[in-house]
Structure 1
């Protein structure tokens, strides 16, 4: 039974990856806005119902790809972060890498934000997570252990607050094309680490 479940999950993951790959091929050719869900299903040679079963809206394909990219980049990034001298530097390096990634994929940021914010509130803590809060949790917990980060607030709460600041800066940058995402992330990190004291 366990082997059957494992095989089923493998097949499910393969189907999802195929759909995402076909979607991004089309996005690259024609632009995100021009591509329809029907075209994606046709390119993948799958029934439209199969596409909607895994990705009920086009924005979900973008979210899946962006989360997968983060997961794929994480091992090498964690090594780079481990070499940094302190918690603040590790957080800043991570945010700068995140800014570079988003700047290179600006056309997908709007759909990504829309999908993340339009989900039912009840599901926000349980599904379709980016992994951002877990990265912040790891970095901040290490900072607490080294005495660099205050320990009277749980690292999980601090990570959640920083993840919200991160999303807010991303949204502002997307809506304000002349702004700098790297500068925005630097500002929210300084605010997070130092508070709003004069």
Structure 2
């Protein structure tokens, strides 16, 4: 049973419906005209709301993209994690997840640059758990499974390792934005190898 009073629950449902309507209206316009050409005023007009209503929920256009990206990751994660469970080891699960991430990024390339720019420009004190994508939590879960099976070092907590891996993931995406001809799948594979093996040179005798 919900802990919210009926009036508060109705208000929250209305708020969430408004948010989804705004995002849907924005992405309809992006598909029709291209992301760069669409203005916040056009989004408000398409959604048939006052500009103040739009800005109340989304201060800038990039925030609409963030909401859509994070929502899609949250929706896809349960089924994806269940698929990954069938793979034989932690490395295979991490690699398969990164390949799925690469496919998502390639499908949404038009929006990835604005999304990354917005996320990197947000003040650190606003990046609470509710505003994060959830990528770190997926990595933490996969790495914790690897620690439990003895594949991944337990010298650091899984969440710390996940934070490091997430930053490497971000670095690959930023490089891909600069070098569009680069294979994103190959770059993720190389990044994962570096993360798992470290950058230490092995001396031969």
Which residue does the alignment assign to 1:159? 162
Mapping of 1:5-16 within 5 angstroms? 5-16=8-19
Provide structure 1 residue ranges, at least 5 long, that are not aligned to the other structure: none
CA drift of 1:8 comes to 1.7
Asked if 1:94 corresponds to 2:97, the answer is: yes
Which residue does the alignment assign to 2:6? 3
What is the TM-score of this pair, normalised by structure 2?
A: 0.93
Distance of 1:7 and 1:54 partners within structure 2: 18
What is the TM-score of this pair, normalised by structure 1?
A: 0.97
Q: Deviations over 1:127-158 (max 9, x none)?
A: 42100000001111111111111011011100
Q: How many residues are matched?
A: 198
Asked if 1:76 corresponds to 2:113, the answer is: no
Distance of 2:19 and 2:109 partners within structure 1: 23
Distance of 1:193 and 1:71 partners within structure 2: 26
Which residue does the alignment assign to 1:20? 23
Deviates more, 1:24-33 or 1:3-12: 3-12
Alignment equivalent of 1:37, drawn from 33, 37, 40: 40
Provide structure 2 residue ranges, at least 5 long, that are not aligned to the other structure: none
Two-structure CA RMSD over aligned residues (Å): 1.1
Alignment equivalent of 1:180, drawn from 173, 180, 183: 183
Distance of 1:6 and 1:117 partners within structure 2: 33
Q: Deviations over 1:59-89 (max 9, x none)?
A: 0001111111111111210111010100010
Which residue does the alignment assign to 2:192? 189
